Amino acid sequence: MEFLQAGGQSECHLVLSATTKSVGHAPDGGLYEGCKPDYLAFTKIDETTTFGPLLNELVRTKKGVSYYSDGQRIPDDLHLAAREQIVRTGPER
């Protein structure tokens, strides 16, 4: 972390599974030494049935979403977060 911070322009992205339903699973900043998340990234967005826990984390942490994955073929299924695409990829209605 010291190496990255020495460059002056580093970002910390906390990666969370979209299938985790627990509330408050993102840290408040003290759990990851040297890194307070700038953004949240969500994996398994294609496997969730609801966006509620994801939205709760975004509101709770006051962080934006940077990336999401909607499959197991990385890097092919890893995407920059765009609101319209996440809505299309999200849970079936």
CB burial of 52-84 (b: ≥16 within 10 Å; e: otherwise) equals ebbeebbeebebebbebbbeeeeeeeebebeee
pLDDT band at 93 (very low <50, low <70, confident <90, very high): very low
Mean of pLDDT values over 52-60: 86
pLDDT for residue 21 = 72
Task: Determine the structural domain holding residue 59 and report its residue range.
Answer: 2-89
Total of domains in the chain: 1
pLDDT band at 20 (very low <50, low <70, confident <90, very high): confident
Burial class (CB in 10 A: 0-12, 13-18, 19+), 49: exposed
Angle at 29 between CA 25 and CA 32, to 5 degrees: 80
